[in-house]
Amino acid sequence: MSSLHHTNIQIQTSQNVTIEYEVGSLGDRYVAGMLDLLVIWTYISIIVLIIVYMLDSSISRSIRDLDFGVLFYVLIMIPVAFYHPISEILFNGQSIGKMIMKLKVVRLDGSSLRLSDVLMRWLFRIAEVMISMGGIAIIAIIINGKGQRLGDMAAGTAVVSTKRRVNFDDNLLWLPTQDHQVQFPEVANLTDTDIESIKEIYEEAQRIDSIFMVFHLAERLQKVLNITPNMPPRLFVEAVIADYYSIHA
């Protein structure tokens, strides 16, 4: 059986552009999980120390009347139980562990991650990861071949690697200047997944010096955005990317 680290999946975006992602390996996901546990235990330790300090301080009288069980559930149990769904909602498919390991939860149809997807993955996580100590999740990921545990299959998501080999100079290309004027406000209708695919196609065209690829990409963008730019295809594609980052800065 081939290693999941070398498995790729293709995702079709709403703009009919296919993006190829590398599936997050079991090793990376395990380390990300351990890092998340470290974050959780660090949080618990800090909260417990704060509560102990408050009990020993001059304000202890005001909090001794409170039910310690209520404090425990509100300050510890609830945040810990909902750590993963809250993280994935706030950080667009990533927990702190996933951020460090360059992993991300994405939808297989290329659309943005939804609250229902996050909750579905979380509900299945209770049995797959917590109750079975990760055993069910590992078996499902290996058998599935797309890096999906049961929660991912139900939600239509997958955990992919976001590691990319780009130069610092390449990143500078997409940073709009402070006085950048948006030329095509229609780009606001694109998603993060769409713009990533546009960047990947454009960067590949630049690498192999393909005028045809740039022309075809610009033509597709004109149809999708329903605009007729008065500029060369290369400048138009760069303007679309710069406008997107300027609008979503």
| Domains in the chain: boundaries | 4-161, 168-247
245 pLDDT more than 60: yes
pLDDT of res. 145: 74
pLDDT band at 199 (very low <50, low <70, confident <90, very high): confident
- How does the average pLDDT of the chain come out, rounded? 80
User: In angstroms, what is the C-alpha Rg of the chain?
Assistant: 23
Burial class (CB in 10 A: 0-12, 13-18, 19+), 166: exposed
- Tokens 């760069």 found at: 238
pLDDT of residue 43: 93
**Ramachandran angles phi, psi of 91, nearest 5°:** -110, 25
What pLDDT does 98 receive?
93
What proportion of the chain, given as a percentage, has pLDDT over 70? Answer: 81
Q: Which run of H or E residues covers position 25?
A: none
Q: Is 133 exposed, middle or buried (0-12, 13-18, 19+ CB in 10 A)?
A: exposed
Residues linked to residue 103 through DSSP beta bridges, in sequence order: 161
Helix/strand/coil (H/E/C) assignment for every residue in 52-118: HHHHHCCCHHHHHCCCHHHHHHHHHHHHHHCHHHHHHHHCCCCCHHHHHCCEEEEECCCCCCCHHHH
SS3 of residue 20 by DSSP: strand
Q: For residue range 169-192, what is the model confidence (pLDDT) as tens digits?
A: 444 455 556 667 888 999 888 887
pLDDT in tens, 1-41: 334 445 777 776 555 556 677 888 888 888 999 999 999 99
Among the listed residues 211, 233, 213, the one whose alpha carbon sits nearest the alpha carbon of residue 222: 233
